[in-house]
Each structure stands twice: as structure tokens, then as C-alpha cells.
Amino acid sequence: MIRANFSQMPAQAARHRRISYSPIRRGFTLVEMLVAISITLVMMATVVGVFATVSSSVSNRRAAIEVGSQLRHVRNVLQRDLEGATCPTLPWTRPESNVGYFEIVEGLHCDFYPSDLTDLSIAGTATSIQAPGGKIDHATSTLPSSNLPMQAGWVTDGGGLGDYDDILAFTSRNEKEPFTGPAPLSNVETNNNNRQAGFANWQSQTISSPVAEVVWFCVENPATDTQGYFGNESLAGFRTIYRRTLLVAPWLDYRYNIDGQPKSRPGVLRVLSLNEPDPTQFQHEAEALAALIAFQERFDISARIEYDPTIDAGRWTIVANTLADLTNRKNRYEHHGFVVDANNSARRFPYVLASAGGANGGNDVSLFNDPDLYGTDPTDADVDAGKEGNAVFAFAVNNFGNGYISRPLAVLEGGATARVIINEDGNLIHATTGPVPLGAGQIVAQNSNIRFDNRRGQDLMMSDALAFDIQVYDPEAPVYAIRADGTVVTNNMLGSMNATQQAQLDATAVGPADVGWAVAAVTNDHAEVSEGAYVDLGFSELHREVVRRLTGSPPSANFPASQFSGLAHGKSLLNDARLTRVYDTWNFAYENDGMNQDQDEILPNGNYAKIQNNTPQGRPMVDEGTDGFDSFGEYQDATGVTRLGPDDHGERETSPPYPVPLRAVQIKLRVYEPDSRQMREVTVRQHFVPE
């Protein structure tokens, strides 16, 4: 018989038996929970931060990609327009060649003097150059800054800005992708004996043409914008690039009623309601120009005003242009040239697109409206014209006005160009010297509401731009060199070096478009290291003017001369129009049009003189450069007697501003992306030399 003795089991077995019967724990302690939650929160914060960083990076990258895409689109459109330029860049274009025109306007600013809205300084001297409307707020402005030291409290000096007020206007052809735009559908009332319908009631249609008048320009946001048209004041100084296309469509044919009979004249787009019985006075010429502005605010047709004495007692008409018509400056877009004068208010040669000021320059801007929309009485806008000498370079609007039916013709006394921008309510919100964008189109007439198509933004190409700089190639432009310590490389310095030392010389080449060029140009014995560069028109005079404004006195030494270094030819600067820096292919028809553009005469004593106060004292000299006679001219020998013979160049009444071929043009486009704080710049170049 076997008996078990449990009392003799090992101690380890007993322990195992006791453990197997111990109770099971079913939860966490409070300390463990707090530790777990803390770890989870830290992980979540890390993940959220990572997602925020990734999201911000993606958003900035997407914004940069979008801006880059827009900039490439603008570049491609501009390049395509330039490649289709119809006019050879050789001055003295003849109308019978039917090639259109090519024109560049160099504004008052440049890369080293980019805006009146920023504080500039030279040699440590602060200046007060600014627009009459104020300047940017350096403490809150979102303009990108330079890397130069700034005043205390500033967040930007606006150093990212560049040249912006240049204008490019020319005729272009595109057979592959024709230009399109609105044109009148019909301008007659078929149920009313084919009488022309009121302009306010016209309808539109979309047409296309392989040829168009193309105008590229830029508008700067002013410092003061109480109407909110340009955004908030932190955006002051930013620029917007616009492109206006006006179709060359002379085949358009609309009927109208004359003496109870329907008539048809190809190219006549509109007949104004005002009679002009005395064509020697042209009392309603300003209203006719205002009607042309209103027409081109609604329809993209290249057109001009033309007086027709066969309609009633004489009417102004709006007529579609041909390429031959566009060789004449007064037929081009916004080349109004209307001057208010105590003796003779009228259009004047050379019909500037944008000028550098006028002879007098009062503060009040006269506004003429479309007579078929509002009436004929002009109104005055309370505008301060910022003037320095005779140059009007900016306007500050003090009285905004309201109820303008369409953008009026703005005229500043003295010859300076002036144009206004109106908002959706018809308020005058800005005035400037160059072209302005399309308006909103919704207007309020005297007796009824009129709603045109809202065209605001249809000509916009790029916002948040910093520069729109047009330069021409000057094969004679001198290029100098400046060392790292700021000293100019001179011929004497190079002569004291051997070839190895010259090759190791630490210096930077500067062309006329660089700020250091003026310092090198006025340095004695400066070394010309190269020749040929892209330059601003009239770059020597531009440097001289900037130095004068920044220091109070012009530079003591003369700048070197080249094809495009100085002001335009004197015979293109007539009637105080201040056509100072413009390249234009011009028109030879000025020399045989029966007009006395240079206002000269032969006095009874046989002396040559200029007509004073529009009152001839002798025999006016008309078209003396093509009359077959040897008249007074500038080409004479040292004694001032012998001339080159009949109809030499000196006898011509006019001259292209720069009577030389244009080999190439360069346009710089610079834009700022505020989210990623990146600047992008592209350069478009077009060569005009035949291959």
C-alpha cells in the first residue's frame, strides 16, 4: 500500500501552487494614464507640426509654380507679338508700304530710379523725391527689399522695384492664332429708316483679324487709394502689366442714314450726333476724341476720328484704321495730342502717347465726355500735378467726382498727357501720364440706367509685378569696369599692369543700365572695356536727370554719346510736347502733307524765322523738304552759307526721334510672389536684323 506524503513536497512547487491562485489586475494606474496621454499629445503635436510644415511648403510651392506659369504665359504672348511685328524697324516709313508702325516710349523712371513712391538716397544724402500723393509706408509695405542697410523701423526700402513706365506699341500679325475682340453688331435701327441707333444701345459681336495694334504698358499702384480700387495701402508701389489689342479691320461696313437715304461707307464705324459746320474751328474735336475713347472702351477696333463734310452740315466720324493709316501717329491708339491753350486748343503734332510734361502744366484737368452719352460741357477735376521744372510726372486726385458715363478725355494745360481711371461707380480714382486699363463698364446715364459689358481685367496680364523694363540695343554704348573697392578701372591703371595682372583684376563690367555707370562715365581716363549693350532710350540724359534730382545739381562732366544716348532729334520735339525719349518708325508723309509742322517762314526781308503765336509775318515754308527747291536747312559749311542742294535732310520739317535702325529690343518682366516671398524675372529679346 502506497501513501503520499505531501508535507515533503519541495518549496519551489509550493510557491508555484500559490502563484497560480493569485488574483488578476484589470486596469492602469493614474500615473500610467497621465504618462500615456502625455506621450500621445507629444506625438500628435509633432505630427500636426509636420503636416503644417508640409502643407505650408506645398502651398508656397504651388503659389510659386502658379506665378511661374503666369510669367511664362506673359513671356510667350509678348514673344509671339514681337515675332509678328509688321513694320521693319527702319525710320521714315512710307504709308504706301502698308506696314504699320513700331514705337517705344521710355518713361521718366529707370532701374536706378524706379519710383517716386520710395525714398532714394545717394552718397548718404536722403532726398524727398516722391509723388504728390505720398509715398509707401516703409513700416508696413509688402514690397520686397534690397540687401542695403535701412532706417530704423523700416521693413522694406522697396529695393525690389525696377523700371515700369515704359510703353511698347506696334502692329503685329498672327496668321496661326488670329486676334479676336468685340466689334459692333449693328449700329442702325432698321425699323427707323436705317438711322443710326444711339451709341448706348449698341450690341456687340466677336470678330477676328490676323493683324492688330498691340500696346503693352504698366500701371503703378498709388500710395493713396481711398476708393479701394488698387487694394489696401500695403500694396502701394506694386505694378500691373496690361496688354491692349485693337484689331485692324477696315472691312467693317455699317449703314447709316443721310438725307433720308441709307448709305454705306466701308470702315465708318460711328457717326457722331454733333454738327461741325466750320471745319476751320473744329469746336467739337475734343468731344470727338472722347467719343473715340468711349468706343474703344467697348470695342477692340483700331480706329481714328475723321471729319466728314458730306454728312449733314459736317460731322465727326469714327473710322477703322488700315496699316497704312497707322503709320501716322495721330491715328494710333491714345495718340490724342490735344492741348488746351488760351490761343488755340486743338490736336498738335507729334500727337504724343505719353509725354514728360508740358510748357505750363496747371493743376486742373479738363474732362471731355462722349456727347452721345452725356453732353458736351467739359468738367474740371481737382488734381494736383507734381511738377519739377516743366516735367509733370504724377497726379494726385483730390476730388474724385462721380457719375462719369465712360472714361472721358483728360486734358492738362500745357501739353502734358493725362489719363484717368474710373471705377464701377463712375468715380475718378486715379490720374496718370500714360495709358490706363479698361473700365468696369457699368454706368448711370442722366435719364436711364445703362449697363455695358464689364470689361475690367480683360486686358490684365500680370499683377504683383515689380518691373516692366524695355531696352534697345545700342552698338555704340560704352561699357566700363568698377573694382570691388568701388574705384573705376582707368586706362592708366591697365597700362601699369601686365597681361597676367589684367586677367586677375577683380572688377565688374557696368553698362548704361547699371547704377554705377554714371560714376564711371564722369571719371577721368575711364577705361572702355567693351562696346554695345541693351540700354534705356536717352540713357545719358536719364543718368543726368537722376543725378540732378538726387544731388540738386547735374554732373559736372559730359556723358559719352552714342546712337541712343541723348534726347530725341529736335524736329520731333515740336510744340512743347516733350517727346523726349521715344523710338518711332515715323512717317514720311509728314514731309508732303501740306502742313507746316515746324512752323517756319520766310520774312519779307528774306530772313528765316519761326512763326510766333500762330500768326505768320511772311511766307510760311510748307513741305520745303520735298518741294524741289534749295531752302534753308541745317546742313551748311563752316561759314553757314553753302547747303547740300535741293531737298536735303536739313530741309525736312520733321525727323524720327532717333533716325537710326533698331537692331534688337529687350523686355525684362519681374514679378513678386508674396506667399513664398520669391521674385521671378524673365527676359524677352527680339532681333530685327534680317538673317
Of the listed ranges 12-26, 292-306, 535-549, the least confidently predicted one is: 12-26
Residue 24's pLDDT is what? 61
**DSSP 8-state secondary structure symbol assigned to residue 359:** S
**Model's pTM, two decimal places?**
0.88
| Of residues 233 and 505, more confidently modeled | 505
The CA distance from 286 to 377, in Å, is 11
**DSSP 8-state secondary structure symbol assigned to residue 612:** B
Report pLDDT digits (tens) over 196-210: 777 887 888 999 999
Q: What is the mean pLDDT of residues 394-401?
A: 67
- What cell was used for 207? 470678330
- What cell was used for 239? 505694378
Confidence at 401, pLDDT banded by 50, 70, 90: low
Confidence at 444, pLDDT banded by 50, 70, 90: very low
Burial 614-649 (b: 16+ CB within 10 A, else e): eebebeebbbbbbeeeebebeeeeeeeeebeeebbe
The CA distance from 14 to 33, in Å, is 36
Q: Is the sign of the CA dihedral 639, 644, 647, 652 positive or negative? A: negative
Burial 193-209 (b: 16+ CB within 10 A, else e): ebbbbebbebebeebeb
Q: How wide is the angle at C-alpha 101 spanned by C-alphas 100 and 102, nearest 5°? A: 145
Assign 541 to helix, strand or coil: helix
Confidence at 420, pLDDT banded by 50, 70, 90: confident
Residue 353's pLDDT is what? 92
Domain coordinates of the chain in residue numbers?
A: 336-458
The CA distance from 367 to 297, in Å, is 16
- What cell was used for 444? 448711370
Whether 430 shows a pLDDT value over 80: the answer reads yes
Contact 103, 583 (CB under 8 A): yes
Residue 318's pLDDT is what? 95
Report pLDDT digits (tens) over 556-567: 777 889 999 988
The CA distance from 136 to 680, in Å, is 22
Report pLDDT digits (tens) over 267-308: 999 988 888 888 778 888 999 999 999 999 999 999 999 998
Q: What is the mean pLDDT of residues 633-648?
A: 62
Maximum separation of any 2 CA atoms in the chain, in Å: 171
| Of residues 146 and 98, more confidently modeled | 98
Reported as type and span, the H/E element at residue 499 is helix 499-503
Confidence at 123, pLDDT banded by 50, 70, 90: very low
Whether 241 shows a pLDDT value over 60: the answer reads yes
* Ranges 128-132, 298-302, 577-581, most confident: 298-302
Identify residue 371 by its one-letter amino acid code.
P
Residue 102's pLDDT is what? 98
Strand 188-189 and strand 179-186: the pairing is unpaired
In order of 59, 164, 463, 668, the CA distances from 674 in angstroms are 12, 19, 11, 20
The CA distance from 202 to 406, in Å, is 15
Whether 663 shows a pLDDT value over 70: the answer reads yes
Assign 183 to helix, strand or coil: strand
Select from 411, 431, 417 the least CA-distant residue to 358: 417
Give residue 47's region: left, alpha or beta (phi > 0; psi -120 to 50): alpha
Q: What is the mean pLDDT of residues 601-610?
A: 84
The CA distance from 310 to 323, in Å, is 25
Report pLDDT digits (tens) over 475-494: 999 999 999 888 999 999 99
Whether 2 shows a pLDDT value over 50: the answer reads no
Bridge partners of 318, per DSSP, are: 270, 305
The whole-angstrom distance between residue 669's C-alpha and the CA centroid of its chain comes to 12
Q: How many CB atoms lie within 10 A of CB 38?
A: 10
Please state, rounded to an integer, the average pLDDT across all residues of the chain.
Answer: 82
Contact 110, 542 (CB under 8 A): yes
Question: What is the per-residue DSSP string for 74-117?
Answer: HHHHHHHHHHTB-S-S-SS--GGG----EEEE--S-BTTB--SS
Of the listed ranges 255-259, 429-433, 506-510, the least confidently predicted one is: 255-259
Burial 117-131 (b: 16+ CB within 10 A, else e): bbbbebeeeeeebbb
In order of 221, 231, 288, 602, the CA distances from 236 in angstroms are 5, 8, 35, 54
Q: What is the mean pLDDT of residues 58-72?
A: 81
Q: How wide is the angle at C-alpha 496 spanned by C-alphas 491 and 497, nearest 5°? A: 100
- What cell was used for 46? 509633432
Assign 60 to helix, strand or coil: helix
| Of residues 183 and 447, more confidently modeled | 183
Give residue 37's region: left, alpha or beta (phi > 0; psi -120 to 50): alpha
Q: What is the mean pLDDT of residues 605-625?
A: 84
- What cell was used for 557? 562732366
The CA distance from 581 to 104, in Å, is 8
Q: What is the mean pLDDT of residues 440-465?
A: 73
Confidence at 128, pLDDT banded by 50, 70, 90: very low
Identify residue 678 by its one-letter amino acid code.
Q
Whether 178 shows a pLDDT value over 50: the answer reads yes
Contact 459, 213 (CB under 8 A): no
Site of grid cell 461741325 = 276
Residue 530's pLDDT is what? 93
Of the listed ranges 74-78, 139-143, 222-226, 506-510, the least confidently predicted one is: 222-226
Whether 14 shows a pLDDT value over 70: the answer reads no
Considering the chain, what percentage of its residues have pLDDT values greater than 90?
37
Contacts of 646 (CB under 8 A, 6+ apart): 628, 629, 630, 631
- What SS3 string covers 255-278? EEEECCEEEECCCEEEEEEEECCC
* Ranges 48-57, 268-277, 315-324, most confident: 315-324
